[in-house]
Amino acid sequence: MDDSSILGLCPGTELRGAARVPGSKSIAQRALLLASLSGGRTRLAGLPGSDDVRSTRGLIESAGVRVETLAPAAVAVEGRPPGPERGWQASDPLLLGESGTLARMATAITGLCGRASGSFDLVPAGTLVRRTSAPLLRALRQGGVRMEPDDSLGWPLRVHPIGPPDTLSLVDPVSSQEVSALLVALSAWPGEHLVRVEGALPSRPYLELTRSMLRHFGVRVTATPGDASLYFELRGGLRAPEEPITIEPDASNAAVVLAAGCLSGGEVEVRGLGSGSSQGDVRIVDHLARFGCETEALPDRLRAHGRPTREVLLNLHDEPDLAPVLAAVAAAHAWEGGAGTLLTGLGTLPLKESPRIDVLAHGFETAGIACESGPDFLRVGPRQMGEVRDVVLDPRADHRMAFAFALLGLVRPGVRVKDARCVNKSWPGFWSELQRLGARVSGT
C-alpha cells in the first residue's frame, strides 16, 4: 500500500461553509432498481458517483435494462417489468460489488421478477463475501425460489426465478433491507401482495425510505400491526414517474461533515437536505445537540457548530449508520476531558462491512481512549493518560470506520487512516471536500 492511501485530518483549523455532499446512495440505489422494474422511462438526476451506485447501475444494465446517460449525474432508465417471457435476464454474472443493499434487493428481484426461463449468478466482492442474509434467503426459498448452494446464507449465489407468491413471510430480520427487498420485488407485479414480518424490525427509517420511494412509482404500502407480526400490504404495478427524480444529499454523509464542523470549532451547513427528509439520518442534528453542539434543521438545510460539551446516552437502534460518527464525537469529547458516552441499540453493526463495534473500540483504544463494548453497545471514554504518539488506524476496508477515525483526527493529534480510499464506497470526494472547507489533510 502506498503512502497516498494513508491520510488523516489534523487539529487546529476550523471547517466552515456549505458542504457539497453527494446524493444519497440509499435513495439512488432504490430509484435505479425501481426504475429498472417499471413500465416506462424514468429520469434520475443528482446521482452520486459512489462505488455502490456504480455497481447498481452496472448490475441492472447486465440484467438487460437500458440506461442512458443524460448528463454527468443524470440518467434515463427504460424499465423491464416482469411477466411471461419478460423481466430481467442475464447471460453473464451480476456483479454486486460490496453493497449489502444491492445484494439483498437483487436477490429478491432476480428470484421474483427474473425471466423464468433463465437463472442468475450473483457475485459479491470485497467485504460482501463475509456478509449474510439468512432470513431473506429463507423467506424466498419458502416462497418457492430455488437457490444454489441450497444451504447458502449469503453470496455468491445462483438464483432460479419464479413468479411472485401472494404472501411472503420474513422471520427475525437482521436488516430492514430484507423487508425492503421483498417489497421492491413484489411491487413490480400488478395485483395485491402481502409481506408478513415476525420479530423486531431494525433500522425502521430505512424501510420508510423504501416506502417513500415506492410512492414515486405509484405504489403505496400499508403497514398493519398484528399479534407478534407486522403486515405490509401493497398493490403492485410500478409506473415510471412523469417528472424527474432528483436525489437529495446523503444524510449519513452529511452527518460526517456536520460533526466535523463541530469538532473543529467551525460551522458547517448542508443545503438541499432538511427537516422533512425521508432519510432517518437527518436526526444527526438532534444527536449532536444532545452532546451540547448548536444545531438547526430547516426545511432546506441542516446546520451545526459548537464543540461537544457533555457525555450522553444514545439509543441508535433506528439510525445505526450514525453510530460511527457519534462514536467519534464521543471519542473526541473524551480526549478533551469528557467522562464517557454510552451508545446502545447497535445490534446490527457486527453485520455490516466490518464488525464495527470491535473496529471502533480497537481504533479508539489504540488512540488512547478507553472503550468498553458488547454485542449491542459501545462505551467510549475516558481518555487514557500516557504518551501521545502518532497512530495509523485500520478501518478494515469499511468507509464508515474511515470517516469515524478521520473525525477523531480533528481533535487528537497524529491520527491517520489506513486504506483511506475505502471512503469511495459512499463518498469518493470526502478528503478533498473537507480540505475545501478548511481542514488540513496529512499524507497528501
Active site residues per annotation? 321
CA atoms within 13 A on the CB side of 444: 13
Q: Phi/psi at 93 (nearest 5 deg)?
A: -60, 150
Instruction: Report d(CA 79, CA 419) in Å as an integer.
Output: 37
Angle at 248 between CA 245 and CA 253, to 5 degrees: 145
> What's 103-127 look like in SS3?
HHHHHHHHHHHECCCCCEEEEECHH
Q: Other C-beta atoms within 10 Å of 140: how many?
A: 27
Question: In 205-298, which ranges are E strands?
Answer: 221-226, 229-236, 245-246, 267-271, 294-298
User: For residue 117, which amino acid is it?
Assistant: S
| Concatenated DSSP letters of 166-189 | SEEEEES-S-HHHHHHHHHHHHTS
Give the list of residues 6+ apart from residue 238 with CB closer than 8 angstroms, or none. 34, 37, 38, 39, 79, 81, 187, 188, 214, 217, 218, 219
Cβ 141 vs Cβ 157: under 8 Å: no
Cell matching residue 44: 434520475
Helix (H) or strand (E) holding 157: strand 157-160
- Would you put residue 199 in left (φ > 0), alpha (ψ -120 to 50) or beta? left
DSSP annotation of 83 reads B
Rounded to 10°, the helix 176-187/204-216 angle is: 20
Give the list of residues 6+ apart from residue 93 with CB closer than 8 angstroms, or none. 62, 121, 122, 123
Helix (H) or strand (E) holding 382: strand 377-383
| Concatenated DSSP letters of 17-68 | EEE-PPBPHHHHHHHHHHHHHSBSEEEEE-----HHHHHHHHHHHHTT-EEE
